[in-house]
Amino acid sequence: MRSLLCILFFFSTFLQFSLAAPKIRHFKWEVGYLFWSPDCIENVVMGINGQFPGPTIHAKTGDTINVELTNKLHTEGVVIHWHGIRQFGTPWADGTASISQCVTNPEETFVYRFKVDKPGTYFYHGHYGMQRSAGLYGSIIVEVADGEKEPFHYDGEFNLLLSDWWHKNVHEQEVGLSSIPFRWIYEPQSLLINGKGQYNCSLAGHYSNSSSETCDLKGKWQCAPHFLHVLPNKTYRLRITSTTSLASLNLAIGNHKMLVVEADGNYVQPFAVDDIDIYSGESYSVLITTDQNPSMNYWVSIGVRGRLPKTPQGLTLINYLPNSVSKLPASPPPITPTWNDYDHSKSFSNKILALQGSAKPPVQATRRIVLLNTQNKINGYTKWSINNVSLVLPSTPYLGSMKFGLKGAFLNKNPPENFGSNYDIMRPPINPNSTQGNGVYMFALHSTIDVILQNANALSDNVSEIHPWHLHGHDFWVLGYGEGKFNEKTDMKKFNLKNPPLRNTAVIFPYGWTALRFVADNPGVWAFHCHIEPHLHMGMGVIFAEGVEHIGKIPNDAIACGMTAKMLMTGQH
């Protein structure tokens, strides 16, 4: 009897491990600067293990990721944020400097250990200063667990990590943003697909409508495009993520429709489009069927939306095998929709709905906060503010200072939950001066929070910009988008409570509002911010926290700085 039990035990254990056992996936990474030519122009790039972009993490749902990150920069600290991973139970692994952890200094190592609990398309990136813009990013692909199935079929997949690239180094960019007079970073020199672009030439150079030289990319592997080699009459999943510093992008594929099936790691009700808008911080999966003339190749193009574009399209090819990649498509690359055709953008955003059967939001919110987005001045410096407060992160990370109740680590005043009812969002601020702050929006654990993001006119007349807001530690339901100033009485009635999509990033359109709902169910301290890197650098973010008393044992490494270090070192807990 006992040996039978043993055998049964062995068998069940074996089954578990061979079929569906989650794995711990170990990575040893070194962050360092490299000479690299992302767009055929050599520059200094922040890479990982000698490559740019960083290595792709492949995992299955339920796996634990263990990244041992060593800082090989010379004088800069570093952290890495795992964008879209909610970090349930591991808020210290969220990788946000001054929020979830102290930076890891040169020659030091920090271990990020967290679970990927949801299949989907994610990415990681630096979250300190403007190190994302410097090139510190890569992809995370989480497949369904063994034995599980995606709710759609595909024969193969490709990963497209999109970014924008400047020739001016980010230190100089940062100094300009913090200077009087203010110096804007302007538009990127290039758009990159998987870290590859072409600055001074075009893959589509010899179409009659092109003003660029044709690229000669012989030997230039660092900037030669990453081609998508396909077989005819198959279905492919394209995983598309945008880690741009600034640019909102539109992606189109010559002659092929795209069926959108995933957004930010959540399934959506499939819908077909000719092109997709993708904002910084977002990810999508689309399916394409290779049902076009198999003797041809087809363009994949990305172009700038939402800002008057001065950057050439980023290009690569879908290569129908066995055609040569040198066989160019019959016609030039798809034209990006006009930069300010916001109706096109809104139409796309409104098509994104949760897959039938997805979790629905609670019917009522416990609390609603309204966040006015304005461009401001503080002592002559140009800033972005939320309800007239521009975020300046404290030197002691919140996670430790809040858990241990350290006084004076940040402004303990509650930040404003709304703005003056007579504020005219259609005009530049009458009094553009705002204040600096770093207070925290504290939520009761498990409460339901509505956030109304309210856009407004910037400092110049007739300018209102797009801002993609990203929430750490949670997904939120996007309840709706609207024009003008949010009206509590009339607009709430229009909220989509039936099938709103779950996202971690949502855009506000010029002069409009966006309504989000989420459950504050993840003990920790979480950034919520505009994902445009220079905007965050200029203060465009807020801090959320919930269930701080339920935060587990924070690894000492994560809080060995500032006031928490002082506290731990003097033993006065």
Residues that bind its own copies (CB under 8 A): 33-35, 44, 74-78, 98, 102-103, 105-108, 128-131, 169, 171-172, 174-176, 178-179, 183, 393-395, 556, 560-562, 565-566, 568-571
- Closest CA relative to residue 397, chosen from 410, 384, 386, 407: 410
Sheet containing 505-508: give its strands across.
Answer: 440-443, 541-546, 524-530, 467-471, 505-508
Kindly state the smallest distance separating residue 163's Cβ from its own copies, in Å: 19
Nearest-approach distance from CB 244 to its own copies, in angstroms: 20
Q: Smallest distance from the beta carbon of 465 to its own copies, in angstroms?
A: 23
Closer residue to its own copies (CB): 9 or 35: 35
For residue 553, the minimal CB distance to its own copies (Å) is 13
In order of 19, 85, 133, the CA distances from 550 in angstroms are 34, 19, 34
Nearer to its own copies, 392 or 445 (CB): 392
Taking alpha carbons only, the member of 262, 285, 258 closest to residue 274 is 258
Beta bridge partners of 295: none
Smallest gap from residue 144 Cβ to its own copies (A) = 38
Which helix (H) or strand (E) segment holds residue 270: the answer is strand 266-273
CA distance 204 to 332: 7
| d(C-alpha 187, C-alpha 147), whole Å | 46
Please identify, using beta-carbon distances, which residue of 130 and 352 lies nearer to its own copies: 130
In the β-sheet with 137-143, what is the strand arrangement from edge to edge?
Answer: 57-60, 137-143, 120-126, 80-83
Does residue 334 have a cis peptide bond before it, meaning omega lies within 30 degrees of 0? no
Contact criterion met (CB below 8 Å) for 44 and 52: no
- Tokens at residue 312, please? 């050439």
Residue nearer to its own copies on the CB measure, 78 or 502: 78
Closest separation between CB of residue 569 and its own copies, Å? Answer: 4
- To which H or E segment does residue 11 belong? helix 2-15
Decide whether 169 or 331 has the Cβ nearer to its own copies: 169
Tokens encoding 472: 């750490």
Query: Who contacts 273 (Cβ-Cβ below 8 Å, separation ≥6)?
Result: 257, 258, 260, 348, 351
Minimum distance, C-beta of residue 530 to its own copies, in the bound complex (Å): 18
The distance of closest approach from Cβ of residue 183 to its own copies in the complex, given in angstroms and rounded to an integer, is: 8
Indicate the residue among 105 and 499 with the shorter CB distance to its own copies: 105
Measured from the CB atom, the residue of 111 and 497 that comes closer to its own copies is 111
Q: With respect to its own copies, which residue has the nearer C-beta, 154 or 182? A: 182
